Structure 1
Amino acid sequence: MPVIPGHRPTVQEPAVEEWRRRYPLFPRVLFVLDGTGPAGAENRIRALHAAVGLLARFPYDVPVLAAPLADLLQHGPCAPVWRPVHDPGQRVSWTESGHRQA
């Protein structure tokens, strides 16, 4: 926005971080869980879900998904083996956010 001498802008546009110009959507955060077996993976997913409350809106604005490595090896990374940490009862593909549209 050019500066005009003697003129005061009445509305200031909010600053936009440089990365948001190139990436209008924040990339997904994917957790691959290994070395714990099914019960350990379940515990880790529950721990991530519990931490969601500490992250304010982050897990709703940014898809955060977790999947056991064994499921990825068996079904492939594009299969609906990913569990959104905000709703670990769901199973989605990594390209889905797990957020239900209103």
Structure 2
Amino acid sequence: MVVQRSIPAVDLSEETQAERLARKTREAPYVPIGLAGCLGAVLYGLYQYKNRGEMSTSVYVMKFRVVAQSAVVVTLGLGVGYSMIDKYILPKFQTSASKKEEPSA
């Protein structure tokens, strides 16, 4: 017996950066949020760098690195938490709600 498998359609044409960003946004909606957060952190860091006072540049960069890494860890934790809630907890509520709506015979 020969089993035929369906081959997914792959478009081999070149995609522009805007098309790639749009595709990534559809596949993973957190991509633009992450990019906006990264841009915001960089702009905030540049603004704070001008107002750092007597702090040396190397100490400021190390401090900013710790803040940026903390933001990444918090964002990853929130994303994982949301994914777990969406995948495991919300379906249980939806099935229990649909059972309540069904009339008993």
Give the structure with the higher percent helix.
2
1 or 2 for the larger relative contact order (CA 8 Å, sep ≥6)? 1
Give the TM-score of the pair, scaled to structure 2: 0.26
* Higher Rg: 2
